Amino acid sequence: MISTAMSDEPEAASLRQLVSRGWTYHHATFDLYLKLSGVLLTEAGVTGVILPEIRRLVQLERGHSSDDELRVRKANIDLANTGLTDAMLNTLLGAWQTLGISCCSLCLRLQRNCLTGASLLTLGQFVTAEAIGSLEELHATHQLGPERVTRRSVLSFLKKLSQCSKYPIWVKRRRCFRPVHLRLGRCGIENPEEIAGELEKDGARVCFADDQGCIRAACSLARHGGGCPVAHLFDFRSQELPAENPEPLGATERLKEAEQMEVTLQGEKGKLFLCGSCERSLSIDMFTRCQFSKASKIDEHRGESHLVRRCNECVTQPCCACGQHLSLTAFSGSQMLRPQGTRRCRPCTLDTWWCDRCSKPKVTGEFSSFQARKGKQLSKVCRDCEKSNPYFDRRHVLCAIFSGKYAAPPLRLPAFSKEILMSILSFARESKFITISGTSYTCSLCNKTKSFLANAGDDAVERHVRTSQVHAKRVRSLEAGHLVEVATTGLDAGRFRDGLGLRGAFCGIDQVKEAASLIDIWTVNDTQPLLPFLRHVGCRESESGQLRWVSPEQFEKASGLVEAAHGSGIEGDFFASASMQDVAEAEERALQQKRTKVNMLCRSGVGDSDEEEDEETVALRRFLAR
């Protein structure tokens, strides 16, 4: 019945219009989008309508170009919830090379369909072919095909990717590898946890993206130098089969729904809002979200909400480069994402670069040629800041020279592999105990951080290592075994940080013994009555204000105070009486000091007597002696 409905001319015409509506090609970025989600597809509709319409649109985009194929950087194909089967997917993939689209990266959205493991095998052969670009993303969750997606098909698909030289994907702009983004959850695959171990036996790796450092385009394992896995299996452990998928609509119904939605959006988009400053009626794109938030706080019934709403041309802010107050329309979207006070207007963004060291925009002539060759994602440092820190980028110059960028004539320098470049970086790391940052260096042995601006010179780190007596003394103590690294003691770092108040990475032998003897009151039962007394006897609190580590002496003293308070029956007034006693003792000490001062002032000299002094002196002595 479905194929008969699709063969009708109205249904085919509606599907043809949906393909035209879902087709978007950007001539500037060369990105291609084809969105057909929610439309019920059949084999006849794919072969008779969709593929011919795509060929027509490709020819239309090419125009009078002499290229044989349409230049595409990345193709995003959305066929989610379309009733897609293995046969229809095989037809689409088989006809892909005949559509006139160039080799490009692929993003396939095939979730909520009727695919089986055979589709994964077909996709594995398709994305590993030499004439096809690399697969960046595959969304194939919630599959309710006639058969479940099997473990064997998933393993075969991942092995195909690992055996192909295109995976993991090399990102030329970032100079790093990235895994393939895969979503294969909710397909009923058995024992999904064991797939990673079975794949490692064949020399390939996958990542379940449990680390928060894993994102769609980067993996934390690759960032830490452990090698990039071939794929990211996001939410792969959730393999419960969905109860049902939403029913896709026919082409005619889906077209009517799209037209109605377009009319609704057009009405909202055409709505104009009044600016309270320039009193012009402008579209919603000319106002920021905060302007509507301010307007919503005023009673709408008064009709005065527009008085506090200002458009982007009336709201001004300073440019940190030229210092002029310009409207928001003079700043690009990427600059608006920066913190306030660091935004540059469009002309200044083209004429200046941001120095990451001094945090100031400077003209391009104030940067060296090496800094000028850096990409947009890498921080640049001006010439003056390079002089203040001679260690900045020194370790990376050799890797930049032999990275392959200068292999073309006239330089023709050899290009080293990534493994050799990583080895050079590991050999060229900082000196022992020294960590160098952009503006300063830190010595973990001395627990000191010094700025390069305050310690000028080309040998600031070497001067500290060679001439610092404290550093030399600590090195001798470390070699003699009197100093120990906290991380190698096997004890909890909180014992040293919160219990002993140490902030460095090294400690003495006695401090190790003292830290080992500390009592963890979190493991002691019923310590709530002890907490006030532990603070009274001088136990240290952590930075968060919690009390955990106490010495045996302090614990014993606090326990004795608890018993004394219970025995005397004054548990509630213990701290009040203790504070009154401290006040009394302080007053007595102050009175005794006053008496001592008075005696020193009023002490008579040898041979002096009261009769020889005048009346004012005698009166003063008597007043002070009270």
Q: What is the pLDDT of residues 302-357, one digit of tens each?
A: 455 556 788 889 999 999 999 999 999 899 888 887 878 888 999 998 899 988 77
Residue at 272 is within a domain: no
The answer to whether residues 70 and 210 belong to one domain is: yes
Residue at 453 is within a domain: yes
Of the two residues 106 and 549, the one the predictor is more confident about is 106
Of the two residues 285 and 572, the one the predictor is more confident about is 285
Q: Which domain holds residue 540?
A: 518-572
Residue at 215 is within a domain: yes
Q: Compute the average pLDDT of residues 228-234.
A: 92
The highest-confidence range among 4-13, 40-49, 419-428, by mean pLDDT, is 40-49
pLDDT number for residue 167 = 93
Residue at 457 is within a domain: yes
Contacts of residue 586, defined as CB under 8 A and 6 or more positions apart, other chains included, come to: none
DSSP codes, 152-171: HHHHHHHHHHHHSTT-SEEE
Residue at 356 is within a domain: no
pLDDT digits (tens, 9 = 90+) for 352-396: 998 877 778 999 889 988 888 877 767 788 888 777 666 655 666
277 pLDDT more than 70: yes
pLDDT number for residue 609 = 40
Residue at 115 is within a domain: yes
Q: Compute the average pLDDT of residues 552-568.
A: 74
Residue at 94 is within a domain: yes
Instruction: Tell me, rounded to whole angstroms, the distance of Cα 300 from its chain centroid.
Output: 40
The answer to whether residues 131 and 7 belong to one domain is: yes
The answer to whether residues 87 and 132 belong to one domain is: yes
Q: What angle do CA 132, 135, 138 make, to 5 degrees?
A: 135
The answer to whether residues 532 and 478 belong to one domain is: no
Q: What gap in Å lies between CA 422 and CA 415, rounded to an integer?
A: 13
Confidence label for 566 from pLDDT (cuts 50, 70 and 90): low
**Pairing of β 434-436 and β 440-443:** antiparallel
Of the two residues 454 and 304, the one the predictor is more confident about is 454
134 pLDDT more than 90: yes
612 pLDDT more than 70: no
Q: Which two tokens stand for residue 139?
A: 């969304």
Beta strands in 21-90 (DSSP E): 23-25, 31-35, 74-78
Say if residues 89 and 122 touch (Cβ distance below 8 Å).
yes
Among left, alpha and beta (phi > 0; psi -120 to 50; other), residue 554 is alpha
The answer to whether residues 441 and 486 belong to one domain is: yes
Q: Which of 194-198, 231-235, 258-262 has the lowest mean pLDDT?
A: 258-262
Share of the chain above pLDDT 70, in %: 78
The answer to whether residues 614 and 476 belong to one domain is: no
Share of the chain above pLDDT 90, in %: 29
Q: What gap in Å lies between CA 250 and CA 15, rounded to an integer?
A: 9
The answer to whether residues 61 and 129 belong to one domain is: yes
Among residues 77, 206, 188, which one has the least CA distance to residue 135? 77
Q: What gap in Å lies between CA 102 and CA 132, rounded to an integer?
A: 9
pLDDT number for residue 605 = 41
Number of domain units in the chain: 4
Confidence label for 626 from pLDDT (cuts 50, 70 and 90): low
Residue at 132 is within a domain: yes
Confidence label for 139 from pLDDT (cuts 50, 70 and 90): very high
Contacts 24+ apart (CB under 8 A), 299-303: none
176 pLDDT more than 80: yes
What average pLDDT is seen over the chain? 80
DSSP code for 138: E
